[in-house]
Structure 1
Amino acid sequence: MCPSTAEVRSGDRLLEVGCATGKATLPLARRGFRITGVETGPQLAKVARRNLAAYPDVEIVNAAFETWKPSLLGMFDLVFAATAWHWIDPAVRYQRAWVLLRPGGELAFWSAAHVFAEGDDPFFEEIQEVYEEAGEGLPPARRARPGALPDDRSEIEESGLFRDVAFRQFDWEVDYDAQEYLRLLDTFSGHIAMQPCQRDRLHSEIRTRLAQRPDGLLRRGWGAVLHVAPSGLTCRRS
């Protein structure tokens, strides 16, 4: 098995941190894993329970990962987070994951971000003026290049609780029509927090500008980073 792939098998017990509506949970549930999803948002947890109702081995808990108290410690083969790890308090997140893992269990987390390649679709530069009106403009310093997303291996290793941390980055591109792209934007916290009039203006501009393109599409670059870290200690602390 690839060294940056978690060593888990069907039937293993997984803990998902910040499962939201269960988008990342579902494909793992289909593979026969026993999963506990911890989600701090009550409405998100409610949707996740509905989306995963067909899988009796999946439990959704409405709680904060930092303070959640399961019935047993050291019970999980894998603690993982899909685009949610950065929301967890860095002062406690590695300790909490380690305590919840069985000896030799693994921590895995991944994130996804917009990446900007040389010669990329100019749409995102052109639409920045609308974002700036809403106070959501993206400074050039925050425009990551493909292959250059943050590597957190040193942070994980400094916790002293994990060893042999593996890191991989994946880059890809997706073409979106206006409706597909607006559905994507509606999942982003910054867009959700916009004032309705600002969001309506942005959506209108996106529709108008893409309608002027011959194919009606924009191309967005994506980058994702995956960290996998086996637990490095065998003793347990409460």
Structure 2
Amino acid sequence: MPRGLPPRATFDRAADTYQSARPDYPPELYADLRATTAITPPAHLLEVGCGPGKATLPLARMGFGITAIELGGALAAKAREHLAAFPGVSVITSSFEEWEPPAGVRFDLVYAATAWKWVDADVKYAKAAGLLADGGHLAVWNADHAFPADVDPFFFEIQPVYEELGEGHDGPWPPPPPEEQPDPMAAEIEASGHFTVVSTNLYVWAARYTADEYIALLDTFSGHIAMDPAKTGHLYGEIRRLLAARPDGRLTRHWSAVLTVAARH
């Protein structure tokens, strides 16, 4: 990886596998998003950091018009490919900070899925507020590794390998269960002075992975993309060794997403 490449720019290296490797967001999330914001097709939405269209596609299928902004050229190309059947969706290759919207254009919803944290806080809130129509909302959500009470012991077995490589977990280990963690974005949104949080919803689900599937997933995370190949080679070898000892060769990874919806002041 080129020296000095910012973490948010690393995802373009995973453009070919991101759509298949990353989990889909729960249908309940989209239902809650629509219920809270009262948006109905063909409302015009703005997505910040669409990637290959992971969260764009479900909303496009519902009939929404979407302008999707994506920093990475390869990811934007994948998004156009995945969304080609939807003439009401356009994908623009740009950072949100540098994007110049057409004069007078307003959106009913500005949203970001697993992308908002990568955008400059000094720019994003004021810019999003200025692009919203009257009654419009900002919605952000994520997809994080969750550690509920029934977490797979695999993660305690592999963690020493991360520590050995100098790639240990930031914060307490193991992390608190998702229901004990605060909304990761609410305080920042409120502090921006442009929005008031109107709802927070938590979703937790689980997915099963073979060694190949799990390694493909890890290769879409900025920290693993940026990791020295010698480190990933050792890490992935240990993952394969641990899973080969299991009868079905699989692990269970829990996911959590927090949907935060805010109204413009």
How does the TM-score come out when normalised to structure 2? 0.81
Task: Verify the 8 A CA contact 2:197 2:260 in the aligned structure 1.
Answer: no
Q: Are residue 182 (structure 1) and residue 215 (structure 2) matched?
A: yes
1:164 Cα deviation from its structure 2 partner: 4.9
Q: 144, 148, 154: which is aligned to 2:180?
A: 148
Q: Are residue 113 (structure 1) and residue 134 (structure 2) matched?
A: no
Judging by fraction of residues, say which structure has more helix: 2
SS in 1 for 2:248: coil
Q: 213, 227, 231: which is aligned to 1:198?
A: 231
Distance 1:182 1:55, change over 3 A: same
Partner of residue 35, structure 1: 66
**Mapping for residues 99-178 of structure 1, pairs under 5 Å:** 99-139=130-170, 141=172, 143-151=175-183, 152-178=185-211
Partner of residue 236, structure 1: none
1:167 Cα deviation from its structure 2 partner: 0.8
Distance 1:124 1:13, change over 3 A: same
Task: Verify the 8 A CA contact 1:147 1:171 in the aligned structure 2.
Answer: no
- Structure with higher Rg: it is 1
Q: Are residue 61 (structure 1) and residue 92 (structure 2) matched?
A: yes
SS in 1 for 2:86: coil
Unmatched 5+ stretches in structure 2: 1-30
Amino acid aligned to 1:192: I
- For these two proteins, the number of residue pairs brought into alignment is 232
Task: Verify the 8 A CA contact 1:12 1:77 in the aligned structure 2.
Answer: yes
1:70 Cα deviation from its structure 2 partner: 0.7
Partner of residue 218, structure 1: 251
Amino acid aligned to 1:125: F
1:104 Cα deviation from its structure 2 partner: 0.9
1:6 Cα deviation from its structure 2 partner: 2.5
Distance 1:228 1:186 in 2: 30
Distance 1:62 1:141 in 2: 37
Amino acid aligned to 1:57: G
Distance 1:31 1:126, change over 3 A: same
Deviations 1:127-172 (A, max 9, x none): 1222223322114516242213332333323333223521111122
1:76 Cα deviation from its structure 2 partner: 0.4
Distance 1:157 1:74, change over 3 A: farther
Distance 1:140 1:105 in 2: 35
Task: Verify the 8 A CA contact 1:172 1:222 in the aligned structure 2.
Answer: yes
1:12 Cα deviation from its structure 2 partner: 0.7
Deviations 1:40-65 (A, max 9, x none): 11221122112212211111111111
Distance 1:75 1:126 in 2: 50
How does the TM-score come out when normalised to structure 1? 0.89
Task: Verify the 8 A CA contact 2:44 2:107 in the aligned structure 1.
Answer: yes
1:188 Cα deviation from its structure 2 partner: 0.8
Partner of residue 235, structure 1: none
Distance 1:58 1:79, change over 3 A: same
1:215 Cα deviation from its structure 2 partner: 2.3
Q: 47, 51, 59: which is aligned to 2:78?
A: 47
Distance 1:144 1:86, change over 3 A: farther
Distance 2:63 2:36 in 1: 17
Task: Verify the 8 A CA contact 1:79 1:108 in the aligned structure 2.
Answer: yes
Task: Verify the 8 A CA contact 1:147 1:223 in the aligned structure 2.
Answer: no
Distance 2:107 2:204 in 1: 30
SS in 2 for 1:202: helix
Distance 1:208 1:154, change over 3 A: closer
